[in-house]
Amino acid sequence: MMRWTHGLINRLIVFCDIVMSILAAVIARLEWEFVSWGQIAILWVVGTVIFVQLLHLGGAYRVEHYRRYKRQFLHLLIGGGPAVLVVAACYSAMIPGDLLNWQAFLGWAILASAAFLFGRYVPVNLGMWLVQRHDVLRRNAVFLGDPVRARALLDRHRQSGPRRQGLYAFLALFDDSLHEKPAGETARGDYPPVLGGLEQLLEYVQRHPIDTVIVTKSWSDPSAISALVDKLYQVPADVIVEMDPEGFSLNYAHLTMMAGEQALQVQQQPMKGSLGLLKWLEDYSVGIIGVILVSPILALAALAIKLESPGPVMFRQPRVGRNNKVFMVYKLRTMTVDPNDDGSLGTTRDNPRITRVGRFLRSTSIDELPQLFNVLKGDMSIVGPRPHVPNMIVAPSVHYQAIQHYVARYRVKPGITGWAQINGMRGGINTVEKAQRGVELDLYYIENWSIWLDFRIMLLTVATGMTGPETF
């Protein structure tokens, strides 16, 4: 009855981390005679909670990460660094000054790090190898509805990348318009065979382990879809209804009440009320702290820019902000001055105008730091969709307004970093495909915004975005 899931594996990894932290704490207590079991338990709870929560916040507990050694090491560093600092503060507060032994504390920190690395690189890696070898996460799926739509959906699934392709094994198609199994039906090309209609599906699931039933019917008759789903309640499987890719898209719609009856709200104003106040506090507090922390970096960068090439240290350029309002963004100059460049064509990697200092500033995203002043002015947020120049050209003769839903990004303030940036969208938008992908990521951020999502994005930006591969 039990099936392995991504969530179950993630919880087992959390359990492994906790076991390793317990092992390190026990060994530390055996070495520290001046620390009681109660004190070591308090330090363990504080350190473990911070470590696990930071990894949760940074999205580290995900199946696709567990066999990537460098990423595992980086995640442990992100979670372990702050945890050690907080435990050190608690340690100094709990232990009398004459009994403090920082050399022993450093030994514990090293021991704990070794325990976490051992847990991730040995049992976790072995477990993930077994998971992939035996395909325990693969789900058996069948289609019910229109076979033509099912085959089209299957084609799109095959184009979605190898990681998603391995999630399902598609076994059969069932046409709800049929009442019996077609005579002599076999698999058609690369597609599973049509094995009949709804009655045949109900018999099929009794003989075969089915995890998911995918309903593929046209939304021109919603009542037919509802009737079909009602008949599937007796099937012990997940039921997924395909949306019409060319019709009405529900996106993040939900039910609401209007005049005492149910209605469908397909859009809502983002970050309003108390959420808007929380976002405002986040922007100004992080903005002020950020300006203070990066001031020495900005001073050094300004000196390097001035020494290498003539022209201003910073430049101002128009960008499109919330509600399509144009504002002037601040950036460190990374190219030689060209008064005719309005930014609409973007910047390519081999642009000869990029200076040596500018290339370094771009690769580390230091050139974006002056946008903290835009945050304090109220034009931008710390986290949000990236701002683009008015009339930006995505491809020859294609402006960003031509991309469906692109302007929906302007429902919120643009940000210095964002969900799109930490998912590989750093740099210029120079293809229609990249623009469309950016829109999908930005809309996901807008519809799923929370203060914790912002903290996660900021954490991942510092950990990977500032030192990621150079992109334009």
What is the per-residue pLDDT for 426?
66
Mean pLDDT of 186-205: 82
Instruction: Specify whether 457 is located in the same domain as 439.
Output: yes
Instruction: Specify whether 301 is located in the same domain as 386.
Output: yes
Domain termination residue (choose one: 74, 102, 133): 133
Name which of 224, 143, 242, 220 is nearest 188 in CA terms. 143
185 pLDDT band, cuts 50/70/90, is low
pLDDT higher than threshold 70 for residue 399: no
Euclidean distance between CA atoms 86 and 46, whole angstroms: 8
Could you tell me if residue 292 is inside a domain?
Answer: yes
What is the per-residue pLDDT for 382?
94
Could you tell me if residue 262 is inside a domain?
Answer: no
Could you tell me if residue 294 is inside a domain?
Answer: yes
Query: pLDDT tens for residues 305-360?
Result: 988 888 889 888 888 888 778 899 999 988 887 766 655 555 556 677 788 888 88
Could you tell me if residue 129 is inside a domain?
Answer: yes
Give residues with Cβ within 8 angstroms of 74, minimum separation 6: 463, 464
| Residue with more model confidence, 354 or 299 | 299
Query: pLDDT tens for residues 6-48?
Result: 788 889 999 999 999 999 888 888 877 777 888 889 989 999 9
| Residue with more model confidence, 426 or 63 | 63
Domain tally for the chain?
Answer: 3
Residue that has been written with the tokens 């970093």 in this structure: 417
464 pLDDT band, cuts 50/70/90, is low
Instruction: Specify whether 282 is located in the same domain as 190.
Output: no
Average per-residue pLDDT for the chain: 81
What is the per-residue pLDDT for 472?
35
pLDDT higher than threshold 80 for residue 154: yes
* Residue type present at position 347: T
Domain termination residue (choose one: 248, 263, 284): 248
Could you tell me if residue 293 is inside a domain?
Answer: yes
Euclidean distance between CA atoms 380 and 322, whole angstroms: 8
Classify strands 314-320 and 326-332 as parallel, antiparallel or unpaired. Answer: antiparallel
Euclidean distance between CA atoms 440 and 378, whole angstroms: 25
Instruction: Specify whether 199 is located in the same domain as 74.
Output: no
pLDDT higher than threshold 80 for residue 206: yes
What is the per-residue pLDDT for 373?
94
Domain termination residue (choose one: 133, 163, 195): 133
Name which of 115, 126, 117 is nearest 9 in CA terms. 126
What is the per-residue pLDDT for 469?
45
Could you tell me if residue 456 is inside a domain?
Answer: yes
Residue that has been written with the tokens 């100004």 in this structure: 284
Instruction: Specify whether 172 is located in the same domain as 99.
Output: no
Instruction: Specify whether 285 is located in the same domain as 240.
Output: no
Query: pLDDT tens for residues 110-139?
Result: 888 899 999 988 998 898 888 878 777 788
Instruction: Specify whether 123 is located in the same domain as 152.
Output: no
Could you tell me if residue 304 is inside a domain?
Answer: yes
What is the per-residue pLDDT for 290?
92
174 pLDDT band, cuts 50/70/90, is very high
Q: Looking at residue 187, which CATH number applies to its domain?
A: 3.40.50.720
What is the per-residue pLDDT for 267?
66
Instruction: Specify whether 281 is located in the same domain as 222.
Output: no
What is the per-residue pLDDT for 243?
77
Instruction: Specify whether 445 is located in the same domain as 343.
Output: yes
Instruction: Specify whether 128 is located in the same domain as 175.
Output: no
Instruction: Specify whether 216 is located in the same domain as 118.
Output: no
Instruction: Specify whether 83 is located in the same domain as 160.
Output: no
Could you tell me if residue 54 is inside a domain?
Answer: yes
Residue 461 structural domain: 274-467
